[in-house]
């Protein structure tokens, strides 16, 4: 079971890195720039965290630790070479991804008789 928790944490690390790479991608639709990368990153974070919970108990927590390391560690390191900028889009990504992890951790499936 511990090995599956490590797998969940590594999946969180991978998902956090991939979401960090794509969260700044924009789609121009009639002069309006839509942040499709932000939406994909947050939704993928939520879905993968739910999958980790289905895989192993505390899977979402392990996934969240890996995601936080990938997203927050470069910001805390203090260097100028991090993937999530200190602007509105970066903060929406960080807080939106964190919120998706909170929702995923509290999501309890409805039991059907």
Between the alpha carbon of residue 45 and those of residues 28, 29, 55, the distances in Å are: 24, 25, 15
Tell me the per-residue pLDDT of 13-56, one tens digit each, with 9 for 90 and over: 999 999 988 988 898 898 898 899 999 999 999 999 999 988 88
Is 82's pLDDT higher than 70? no
Beta-carbon contacts of 97 under 8 Å, excluding residues fewer than 6 positions away, are 16, 19, 41, 42, 45, 67, 71
* pLDDT band at 73; cut points 50, 70, 90: confident
Q: Report, as an integer, the average pLDDT of 72-87.
A: 72
């Amino acid at each position: 079971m511990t090995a599956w928790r490590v797998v969940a944490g590594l999946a969180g690390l991978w998902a956090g890195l991939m979401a960090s790479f794509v969260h700044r991608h924009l789609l121009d639709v009639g002069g309006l720039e839509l942040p499709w990368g932000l939406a994909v990153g947050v939704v993928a974070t939520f879905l993968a965290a739910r999958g980790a919970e289905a895989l192993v108990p505390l899977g979402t927590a392990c996934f969240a630790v890996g995601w936080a390391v990938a997203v927050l560690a470069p910001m805390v390191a203090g260097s100028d070479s991090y993937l999530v900028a200190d602007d509105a889009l970066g903060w929406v990504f960080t807080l939106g991804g964190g919120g998706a992890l909170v929702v995923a951790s509290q999501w309890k499936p409805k039991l059907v008789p």
